[in-house]
Amino acid sequence: MPEVINYPQVPGLDDAELAAFLAQPLMARLSTLNPDGTIHTIPIWYEFRDGKIFLSTQSVTQKAKNVQRHPAVTVLVDTATMPYTGVMIYGTARLAVAEAESRRVSIFERYIGDYGESYAHKLAAKWEPVIIEVTPTRIISFDYTKGSLVPED
C-alpha cells in the first residue's frame, strides 16, 4: 500500500486506523472521467481488501465505461457528521469480470447482510456484473476527531 499522506491542517490516520476505518460499511464516492472531460461522481458500496478497493457495478454503467477508457480514479470514503474523518484514494482502476458475482455478494453483505446474496443474483440476472478494482497510488487521510492543527487566535 502506498504511504498515507495527511493534510497539513488536520491529523490523519495511521495504517491500522486506516484499515479499521475502511472496514466500516460507509458510503464511498467514486469519481471517473467522462469522455467530454467532466467528472462523473457517484455514491457506491465498496470493500477494502488486500490493500485495494473493490466496487460493484454493471458493465452498462457510465462509471464502468469511463474506467475502461481512462483508468485513473478517485475514491472518497468519509463520515457524514462532525467531527469528520475520511480517506481519499487516488488510484488506477481495472474492470474485473471473473468472480464479479461472488465479490459483489461480499460487498453487498457488508451493507445489507443476508439479503446481499439474493440482491446480487437479481442484479446479475438483468445486467452483467463487473467489479471495479482500484489499486491505490496515493492515499490522503484526515481525522478531525483528533483535533485541528490550525493555530487558534
pLDDT digits (tens, 9 = 90+) for 127-142: 999 999 999 999 999 9
How many alpha carbons lie under 13 Å from residue 105 in its C-beta half-sphere?
9
Do 141 and 87 contact (CB within 8 A), yes or no?
yes
pLDDT of residue 150: 66
Identify the CA nearest to 93 among candidates 55, 48, 140, 42: 55
Kindly list the distances between the CA atom of residue 66 and the CA atoms of 7, 20, 72, in Å, as whole numbers in the listed order: 29, 30, 9
Q: Would you say residue 8 has pLDDT above 90?
A: no
Question: Cell numbers at residue 133, please?
Answer: 478494482
Band of the pLDDT at 149, cuts 50, 70, 90? low
Three-state SS at 126: helix
Three-state SS at 74: strand
Q: Which domains does the chain have, with CATH numbers?
A: 4-145 (2.30.110.10)
d(CA 110, CA 67): 24
Q: Would you say residue 151 has pLDDT above 70?
A: no
Three-state SS at 150: coil
Q: What pTM value is reported for the model?
A: 0.92
Q: Would you say residue 30 has pLDDT above 80?
A: yes
